[in-house]
C-alpha cells in the first residue's frame, strides 16, 4: 500500500475509570461489539501505529450534568496529544437540557475545542427539537461548527433522521454542520438530501462494514469528495482496520488523499478563519 497521510475525523474517548462501562453501554445501544477499549491511550497508540498524524475527539453527554466534566476531559486529551506533537482537535458535548449554551460554547472554545457535538439518538432528542435551536443559533453567531450523529434504520430511533436538518438549515443558514456517517448511518438512501449545501460536511465513520462499496463511491461523487473526511468511530474500530476498508473503494488517488487527510486540514484551516 502506498504511503498516505492520515487523519481520523471521528473518535470517542472516555476516562480510564469509566471506559469499560461506557463501551459496554455503546455495545448494548448499537447491538454490536466495539473492537477497542475506549481510552485515550489506546486511541493514541492505535492511531500512531496506523500512521495517523492526529484525530478529532468527540464528547457525548447523556444528561446535562455531564456536559462540563466531559468537555474538560476532551480538552485535556487534546492538550495531551498536542504535547506529543499530534494534530489533535476536540468537539465539546452538549445536551438539550443544559442551561446556558452560549456560556459553555465560549468556555470550551477558550479551552481550545473546535465545536459542539450532539448525538440525537443517545440523547433522545430530535435534531430539530425546539430545545436545540438556541444552541444552533449560538453556534452560528460564533462561527462554531456542530457535529451531529445522523441516521438510524431502527424505527424507535428517528431522532437523527437527516430530513430533520431542513428546519435547522432554514433557521440557521450560516451554521456549519458535520453530518457523521456519510450523512445517514445505515440510511444511505437519503444521505444525499443536502448535497450541494456549502455548509454541510460529512465523515466516513461506521459505514463501510454495513453496505456495499458502490453506495459510498456514489455518495463521494454526489456529495462532493472535498466535503468528506475519513473517520473510524473509535472505539468501534481502529485507524488501521478502517483504512483497509476505505482503500477498497474504487476512487481516484487524489480523491483518496483528500478524504484521508487534506480535507480535514482544510476544514480546520477554514474554521480558524471563520470561513468554513
Name all domains of the chain by residue range, CATH numbers in brackets.
6-272 (3.20.20.140)
Residue 87 and residue 267: Cα distance in Å, rounded?
A: 13
Distances (CA, A) of 78 to 14, 216, 217: 13, 30, 32
Residue 269 and residue 17: Cα distance in Å, rounded?
A: 34
Distances (CA, A) of 206 to 182, 229, 243: 9, 12, 12
pLDDT band at 208 (very low <50, low <70, confident <90, very high): very high
Of 19-33, 182-196, 235-249, 252-266, which range is least confident? Answer: 182-196
Q: What is the mean pLDDT of residues 216-220?
A: 96
- Residue 157: predicted pLDDT: 86
- Residue 26: predicted pLDDT: 92
Residue 165 and residue 116: Cα distance in Å, rounded?
A: 16
Position 2 pLDDT exceeds 70: no
- Residue 76: predicted pLDDT: 98
Position 13 pLDDT exceeds 80: yes
Read off the pTM: 0.96
- Percent of the chain topping pLDDT 90: 88
- Residue 276: predicted pLDDT: 66
pLDDT tens-digit series, residues 55-114: 999 999 999 999 999 999 999 999 999 999 999 999 999 999 999 999 999 999 999 999
Residue 93 and residue 117: Cα distance in Å, rounded?
A: 5
- Residue 275: predicted pLDDT: 60
**Following CA atoms 201, 203, 207, 208 in sequence, which dihedral angle do they give, to the nearest 10 degrees?**
120
Residue 150 and residue 120: Cα distance in Å, rounded?
A: 8
Distances (CA, A) of 215 to 61, 176, 187, 240, 244: 31, 25, 11, 22, 17
Amino acid at each position: 500500500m502506498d504511503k498516505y497521510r492520515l487523519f481520523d475525523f471521528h473518535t470517542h474517548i472516555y476516562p480510564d475509570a469509566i471506559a469499560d462501562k461506557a463501551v459496554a453501554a455503546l455495545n448494548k445501544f448499537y447491538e454490536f461489539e466495539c473492537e477497542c477499549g475506549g481510552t485515550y491511550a489506546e486511541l493514541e497508540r492505535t492511531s500512531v501505529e496506523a500512521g495517523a498524524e492526529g484525530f478529532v475527539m468527540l464528547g457525548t453527554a447523556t444528561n446535562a450534568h455531564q456536559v462540563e466534566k466531559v468537555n474538560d476531559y476532551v480538552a485535556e486529551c487534546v492538550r495531551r496529544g498536542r504535547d506529543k506533537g499530534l494534530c489533535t482537535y476536540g468537539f465539546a458535548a452538549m445536551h438539550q437540557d443544559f442551561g446556558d449554551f452560549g456560556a459553555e460554547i465560549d468556555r470550551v472554545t477558550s479551552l481550545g475545542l473546535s465545536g459542539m457535538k450532539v448525538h440525537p439518538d443517545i440523547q433522545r432528542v430530535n435534531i430539530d427539537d425546539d430545545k436545540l435551536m438556541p444552541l444552533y443559533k449560538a453556534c452560528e453567531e460564533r462561527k462554531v461548527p456542530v457535529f451531529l450523529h445522523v441516521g438510524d434504520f431502527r424505527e424507535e430511533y428517528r431522532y437523527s433522521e437527516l430530513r430533520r436538518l431542513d428546519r435547522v438549515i432554514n433557521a440557521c443558514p450560516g451554521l456549519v454542520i458535520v453530518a457523521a456517517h456519510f450523512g445517514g448511518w445505515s440510511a444511505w438512501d437519503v444521505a444525499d438530501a443536502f448535497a450541494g449545501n456549502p455548509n454541510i460536511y460529512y465523515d466516513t465513520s461506521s459505514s463501510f462494514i454495513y453496505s456495499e462499496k458502490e453506495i459510498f463511491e456514489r455518495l463521494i461523487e454526489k456529495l462532493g469528495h472535498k466535503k468528506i473526511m475519513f473517520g473510524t468511530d473509535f472505539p468501534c474500530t481502529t485507524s488501521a482496520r478502517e483504512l483497509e476498508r476505505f482503500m477498497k473503494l474504487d476512487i481516484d488517488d487524489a480523491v483518496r488523499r483528500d478524504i484521508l487527510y487534506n480535507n480535514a486540514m482544510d476544514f480546520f484551516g477554514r474554521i480558524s478563519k471563520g470561513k468554513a
